Amino acid sequence: MATAKDIRPRQDELSLQAQHLSTSPSASFHSPSSHGSALTRTIPLANAKHLKPFATEDIKVLLLENVNQIGREILSQQGYQVEFLKSSLPEDQLIEKIRDVHVIGIRSKTKLTARVLKEARNLIVIGCFCIGTNQVDLQYAADHGIAVFNSPFSNSRSVAELVIGEIIALARQLGDRSNEMHNGTWNKVSNKCWEIRGKTLGIIGYGHIGAQLSVLAEAMGMSVIFYDVVNLMALGTARQVDTLDALLAEADFITCHVPELPETKGMIGQRQFEQMKQGSYLINASRGTVVDIPALIHAMRSGKVAGAALDVYPNEPAGNGDYFNNDLNTWGADLRSLKNLILTPHIGGSTEEAQTAIGVEVGQALVRYVNEGTTLGAVNLPEVTLRSLTMDEPNHARVIYIHKNIPGVLRKVNEIIGDHNVDKQMTDSRGDIAYLMADISNVDASTIKDLYERFESLASRIMTRILY
Ligand SMILES: NC(=O)c1ccc[n+]([C@@H]2O[C@H](COP(=O)([O-])OP(=O)(O)OC[C@H]3O[C@@H](n4cnc5c(N)ncnc54)[C@H](O)[C@@H]3O)[C@@H](O)[C@H]2O)c1
């Protein structure tokens, strides 16, 4: 079995590295599940060599905030030392724990500020087992060669299914009928209750969620039109329209799936409500700033909009409780008083399946980064990958050199690796940070140590790792 090891040692470990080789792990390197984003999906070679950082048992992982079980298993199966905590930690305890670990996995409550990351001397990668990465100082992490991964699209299907449910619920006024029954009122009506079959769904933003929704809606017998700033291949018999106005004028149900951008802020306001058909329906499960809520309240009171479902709001409470009031949003009470309005607390992506998919995607991204140095899907470093080294390449090493993007670096790098046979190499930069990956053949342990020391002595150096 070929040996495999990474040196990104602390200086005091350097002398030990040459003798202390770990064996390849028995767990195979799985390809990510279909839940992963296209970007993070890579197909490993059948005889891929399992590169391992340090000795297998040396990789220390700290998982906080009850990270999904499958994510924990993916990391444990690699032989890493995984410490798992159900909650987040107060800053002083976090600083204490983060000092030793190479990998940390968090969700949204743990704040990885520059103050905390400054203490993380061995940290090479952060996994955000969630959608957002606002809780991490991404620039500080990049400046110190720490990669950050998240899982932005694992919950697309969950959102699409919620929207399908809401289309039917609005068409049949289910929210109101259910509320009435809860209050003891029997109100059997068919007036202004519709089937969705044959109606037109207008999707604004035909990305991960919009495209899933398109397929589901057609299966329910709806006609689908969509508007997107990019020209996209329509799925099924869906049809892209040229302008937002064209969509608003034609659709019976309008649903927003655009990102939060300056151009999408207030994208659906008074003028857009005026363009809509009388008695149309609006759904927003994208971002709270996309719909002008006072304009929606006006459109619903006037009867222009027959029903709406909101999952996201301009201001959302940080935790669960009685917070959805006028202190949070001045129009809160007006909104809550409307009929045929479904209000949900940003649960579009909140399903068990989405949590599992996040665990798989982030867990696998961490393993790929630790074992192979691949940054595909990283949010703060350039995206670089090379095909895996194989078992037929036992004396090969992979150099990873994260450095400041300054003139003359590559000349110096080539002076170091120029004497060796470089099988393949890739460099990319993102802002001031560049990431170089090179596979070198015919190297032994002492050559690797020499390469490591020479890379570490360069002025442009942020972090050097050598995997073999
Ligand atoms: N409610 C929830 O729990 C939940 C969960 C996941 C995602 N979201 C939100 O849903 C939205 C869509 O997510 P996604 O994963 O489908 O995103 P995506 O990036 O895959 O797709 C967004 C699409 O919007 C298009 N777009 C961008 N600007 C536009 C504009 N001005 N006009 C028209 N189209 C425009 C893009 O070209 C892209 O095709 C995001 O805002 C995301 O934050 C909400």
User: If you average pLDDT over residues 176-188, what whole number do you get?
Assistant: 98
Q: Is 132 in the pocket of ligand 1 (CB under 6 A)?
A: no
**465 a catalytic residue:** no
User: If you average pLDDT over residues 153-176, what whole number do you get?
Assistant: 97
pLDDT in tens, 378-420: 999 999 999 988 888 778 899 999 999 999 999 999 999 988 9
Q: Is 348 in the pocket of ligand 1 (CB under 6 A)?
A: yes
Best of 258, 265, 283, 350 for a ligand 1 pocket test (most atoms within 8 Å of beta carbon):
258
Residue with tokens 């190499």: 425
> φ and ψ at 246, to 5 degrees?
-60, -40
pLDDT in tens, 269-320: 999 999 999 999 999 999 999 999 999 999 999 999 999 999 999 999 988 9
Weakest mean pLDDT among 153-167, 227-241, 315-329, 348-362: 315-329
Q: Which CATH architecture has domain 156-343?
A: 3-Layer(aba) Sandwich (3.40)
Q: Are domains 11-153+353-467 and 156-343 of this chain identical in fold?
A: yes
Which pLDDT score is estimated for 358?
Answer: 96
Weakest mean pLDDT among 17-31, 334-348, 352-366: 17-31
The token pair at 326 is: 């006028």
Instruction: Give the integer Cα–Cα distance in Å for 379 and 51.
Output: 23
**287 a catalytic residue:** yes
* pLDDT at 58 > cutoff 80: yes
Helix, strand, or coil (residue 311):
coil
CB atoms within 10 A of CB 427: 17
Q: Is 349 in the pocket of ligand 1 (CB under 6 A)?
A: yes
Sequence ranges of the domains in the chain: 11-153+353-467, 156-343
Query: 380: Cβ–Cβ under 8 A, 6 or more apart, which residues?
Result: 133, 138, 139, 141, 142, 147, 148, 430
Q: Is 153 in the pocket of ligand 1 (CB under 6 A)?
A: yes
Instruction: Give the integer Cα–Cα distance in Å for 188 and 167.
Output: 20
User: If you average pLDDT over residues 227-253, what whole number do you get?
Assistant: 98
* pLDDT at 455 > cutoff 80: yes
CA distances for 370 relative to 356, 361, 416, angstroms: 21, 14, 24
CA distances for 241 relative to 176, 227, 432, angstroms: 33, 5, 40
* pLDDT at 130 > cutoff 60: yes
User: If you average pLDDT over residues 419-447, what whole number do you get?
Assistant: 93
For 11-153+353-467, the fitting CATH number among 3.40.50.720, 3.10.20.600, 3.30.1310.10, 3.30.499.10 is 3.40.50.720
Residue with tokens 């993070």: 40
Which pLDDT score is estimated for 9?
Answer: 47
pLDDT over 70, % of the chain: 88
Which pLDDT score is estimated for 173?
Answer: 98
Strand 103-106 with 60-63, pairing: parallel
Cα 257 to chain centroid, rounded:
16
Nearest atom of ligand 1 to the alpha carbon of 158: 5
**Rounded distance from Cα 257 to ligand 1 centre (Å):** 4
Which pLDDT score is estimated for 425?
Answer: 94
Q: Judge contact between 82 and 61, C-beta under 8 A.
A: yes
CA distances for 93 relative to 20, 88, 98, angstroms: 32, 10, 9
Q: Judge contact between 126 and 67, C-beta under 8 A.
A: no
Query: 182: Cβ–Cβ under 8 A, 6 or more apart, which residues?
Result: none
User: If you average pLDDT over residues 242-267, what whole number do you get?
Assistant: 98
* pLDDT at 10 > cutoff 80: no
Query: 27: Cβ–Cβ under 8 A, 6 or more apart, which residues?
Result: 77, 78, 79
Query: 229: Cβ–Cβ under 8 A, 6 or more apart, which residues?
Result: none
Nearest atom of ligand 1 to the alpha carbon of 287: 41
The token pair at 2 is: 């070929």
Confidence of residue 445 (pLDDT cuts 50, 70, 90): confident
Which pLDDT score is estimated for 41?
Answer: 41
**208 a catalytic residue:** no
Burial 288-324 (b: 16+ CB within 10 A, else e): bbbbbbebbbebbeeebbbbbbbbbbbeeeeeeeeeb
Which pLDDT score is estimated for 45?
Answer: 56
The larger pLDDT score, comparing residue 38 to residue 272, is at: 272
Q: What is the largest distance, in Å, between two alpha-carbon atoms of the chain?
A: 85
* Residue having the nearest C-alpha atom to atom 19 of ligand 1: 207
Among 35, 287, 396, 398, the one annotated catalytic: 287
- DSSP code string of 329-359: -TTHHHHHT-SSEEE--S-TT-SHHHHHHHH
Which pLDDT score is estimated for 93?
Answer: 96
The token pair at 273 is: 């409500």
Convert 79-133 into a string of H (helix), E (strand) and C (coil).
CCEEEECCCCCCHHHHHHHHCCCCEEEECCCCCECHHHHCCCCCCCEEEECCCCC
User: If you average pLDDT over residues 327-350, what whole number do you get?
Assistant: 95
pLDDT in tens, 79-110: 999 999 999 999 999 999 999 999 999 998 99
For the chain, the C-alpha Rg in angstroms (whole number) is: 26
Q: Is 468 in the pocket of ligand 1 (CB under 6 A)?
A: no
Which pLDDT score is estimated for 456?
Answer: 94
Prediction pTM value: 0.82
Which pLDDT score is estimated for 27?
Answer: 30
User: If you average pLDDT over residues 20-36, what whole number do you get?
Assistant: 31
Q: Is 210 in the pocket of ligand 1 (CB under 6 A)?
A: yes
User: If you average pLDDT over residues 367-374, what whole number do you get?
Assistant: 94
Average pLDDT in the chain: 89
Which pLDDT score is estimated for 393?
Answer: 77
Helix (H) / strand (E) containing 202: strand 200-204
Weakest mean pLDDT among 9-13, 126-130, 328-332: 9-13
- DSSP code string of 162-189: HHHHHHHHHHTTHHHHHHHHHTT-----
